[in-house]
Amino acid sequence: MPANVRPIIIIGAGGIVNDAHLPAYKIAGFPVAGIYDKDRERALQTAARFEIPLVYDSMKEMLTRSPGAVVFDVAVPGAEILSVLQQLPRGAAVLMQKPMGSDLAMAKEILTLTRERQMTAAVNFQLRYAPFVNAARDVIQQGLIGELCDIEVNVNVHTPWNLWTFLYTAPRVEIVYHSIHYIDLVRNFLGDPESIYAKTTGHPRMPELASVRTNIIMDYGRMIRANILTNHGHDFGLQHQQSYIKFEGTRGAIRIGLGVLINYPHGVPDRFEYVILEKGKDPVWQTLDIKGGWFPHAFIGSMSQVMMAAGGSISRPDNSVEDCIHTMACVEAAYASSEGGGTRLPC
């Protein structure tokens, strides 16, 4: 948590702001000084719900009336992020909602802009700060499950994409707006992969969306496996819906049930299970009670990183644009692999 908390100015008043950003800031005690959205009525409703003192009529008014040292929380679709950043002052502290632009080309423009304007800029890849991920990281760093050699993410759910209407005109959907979280998480544990194999597909019952299902293999050589498998079209009740992250080591394993994705946005409880091999004993899985979840608690971590960097207690955010450009490169590689196709049969 930051020693010096800055007021937050929010740009965008969509579902993610109402469901995660603002609840997280309330829990953390981060003050929100004002909010702006192109849809003023939506901004007014959000301000009333979370007792935000100022609703700005325009970006110009927001910049004129904002306190001096703030963090701008830019929560707009990926394609709009660059145009918003271009209007922010030199040296601004910024947390932008993922993705870092709509593609790698825009991500590079964002990186160049933030460097030139000397911004403290980060991307809200908040899954890496979820309480259950922090717990898993602690277990792994202590060496309790041995050498980490396998990460698997499996999501088989029904996602109500209608909650994000802008996606219906987006040329890219599933990887850049969802699986990107898991790509970033794998990178955060294993570093950058050697290469990526991927295939992303649509669904006959959701033909208006570019893609809603994805298979990704992140290549880390001969001894490490990293797989991401997502299907957002499982509309057959909750009985066989599942959503989990699994870490396997040479002496144990961790399985995290991601409850928020099942029956979204209502969700079910998360579940943290682990097993550690002991000589002469049968493996026994145990559960650990983890306080807080991905939504909204992980969003505290993203904002804390920006505040700490802006205050000088760390040199740059862990989720800085300098790091997250590599997540965007992985996303671009996944799309290139998907479009390039597999190896043709030899006969």
The upper half-sphere exposure of residue 301, i.e. CA atoms within 13 Å in the direction of its Cβ, equals: 20
State the total domains in the chain.
Answer: 2
Out of 96, 125, 154, a domain closes at: 125
Domain residues for the domain of 212 are 128-288
Kindly state the average pLDDT of the residues 193-208: 97
User: 59 and 82 in contact (C-beta within 8 Å)?
Assistant: no
**Mean of the per-residue pLDDT values of the chain:** 96
Q: Is 74 exposed, middle or buried (0-12, 13-18, 19+ CB in 10 A)?
A: buried
Task: Please report whether residue 336 resides in a domain.
Answer: no
Question: Do 117 and 183 belong to one domain?
Answer: no
Residues 234-251, mean pLDDT to the nearest whole number: 97
Token pair in block for residue 344 = 């043709």
> 319 lies in a domain?
no
Does residue 221 contact residue 192 with C-beta atoms inside 8 Å? no
**Predicted TM-score (pTM) of this structure:** 0.95
CA-CA distance, 30 to 167, in Å (whole number)? 30
Two tokens at 130?
Answer: 């979820």
Helices (H) and strands (E) in the chain, counts: 11, 14
Q: Say if residue 117 is in the same domain as residue 153.
A: no
Residues 244 and 261 in one domain: yes
Q: Which of 157, 178, 228 is nearest to 198 (CA)?
A: 228
Distance CA 86, CA 110 (A): 9
Please give the pLDDT value at position 46: 98
Give the CATH number for residue 32. Answer: 3.40.50.720
148 and 284 in a single domain? The answer is: yes
- Residue 265, pLDDT score: 86
Strand partners, 53: none
The residue type found at 346 is P
* Residues 228-240, mean pLDDT to the nearest whole number: 97
Give the pLDDT band of residue 105 (cuts 50, 70, 90).
Answer: very high
Provide DSSP, 33-47.
EEEE-SSHHHHHHHH
In 3-state terms, what secondary structure has residue 1?
A: coil
For 30-67, the pLDDT digits (tens) are 999 999 999 999 999 999 999 999 999 999 999 999 88
Indicate the DSSP class of residue 253: E
User: Residue 50 corresponds to which amino acid?
Assistant: F
Q: What pLDDT digit, counting tens, does each position of 292-331 carry?
A: 999 999 999 999 999 999 999 999 999 999 999 999 999 9
Give yes or no for residue 256 having a pLDDT over 90.
yes
Per-residue pLDDT tens over the stretch 156-184: 999 999 988 989 999 999 999 999 999 99
- Asked if the structure places residue 43 within a domain, the reply is yes
Residue 3: the pLDDT is: 86
Q: How far, in Å, CA of 151 to CA of 149, rounded?
A: 7
Across the range 205-212, mean pLDDT stands at 96
Task: Indicate the pLDDT class of residue 276, thresholds 50, 70 and 90.
Answer: very high
| Residue 323: predicted pLDDT | 98
